[in-house]
Amino acid sequence: QVQLQESGPGLVKPSETLSLTCAVSGGSINSYSWSWIRQPPGKGLEWIGYIYYSGTTHYNPSLESRVTISVDTSKTEFSLKLSSVTAADTAVYYCAREVPLSDIDTFDIWGQGTMVTVSS
Amino acid sequence: DIQMTQSPSSLSASVGDRVTITCRTSRTINTYLNWYQHKPGKAPKLLIYSASNLQSGVPPRFGGSGSGTDFTLTINSLQPEDFATYYCQQSYGTPWTFGQGTKVGIK
């Protein structure tokens, strides 16, 4: 059974770059798309972007100028970098697998999430 | 972006109750609508995809309906493990967007 686990620093200083990794276990990363999603405290879920296993990416336009998602198939992990962070980027960050079910893209497997706080 | 509006934002119910949550989209999305359950500290869980299809392993007391701009998640005979926050999400066009969530609490 495929499982996802986020890891990375829980505290990032303003203006610096947030870096997170999602380890994929129990299955192959060489198919489907792999997404990052976040939830600021007290707010809803926001899709950040996805990467296809081949390396093709698609980002939320609201974050596109600051986001980079990459994949390392040899390590079965994918990563998120968010540059020039501010307090507004404080959130729980989730990684998720995106698969088509009945031709509808769905997030069928999620990690438990990791809290990242932006503060000096 | 496609805006998602869920209602209510929270509700209180008892074990055995029937619960209905609605999701309205800012433009028509056919049936490109998914529902998720989220409990604190846990990974969100896919319940329903394509508006009405039950994800494998999800109890049949969960059901979804709707198309176009109006969708409904129904929980028949609410169980103790169903107290959680529920989100709708559209997959019609990127950026994928979510509703703001409906918290189902214990009455």
DSSP state of B96: P
Dist CA A51 CA A22 (whole Å): 12
Task: Please report the pLDDT score of residue A73 as a whole number.
Answer: 84
Min Cα–Cα distance to chain B from A114, Å: 9
| Closest chain A residue to B92, measured at CA | A104
Which of A58, A106, A112 lies nearest to residue B46, judging by beta carbons? A106
Per-residue model confidence as pLDDT tens digits over A13-58: 999 999 999 999 999 998 899 999 999 999 999 999 999 988 999 9
- pLDDT of res. A53: 86
Task: Tell me whether B67 touches chain A (CB under 8 Å).
Answer: no
pLDDT digits (tens, 9 = 90+) for B10-50: 999 999 999 999 999 999 999 999 999 999 989 999 999 99
- Mind spelling out the 3-state secondary structure of B26-76? CCCCCCCEEEEEECCCCCCEEEEECCCEECCCCCCCEEEEEECCEEEEEEC
Which phi-psi region, left, alpha or beta, contains residue A84 (left: φ > 0; alpha: ψ -120 to 50)?
left
Write the pLDDT tens digit of every residue in B48-80.
999 999 999 999 999 999 999 999 999 999 999
Contact B98 A102 (CB under 8 A): no
Query: Among residues B43, B86, B87, which one has the least CA distance to residue A111?
Result: B43
Run of H or E residues at B7: strand B4-7
- In this prediction, residue B45 carries a pLDDT of 97
| pLDDT for A84 | 98
In a mutational test of the B interface, the residue from A3, A45, A94, A99 whose CB has the highest number of chain B CBs within 10 Å is A45
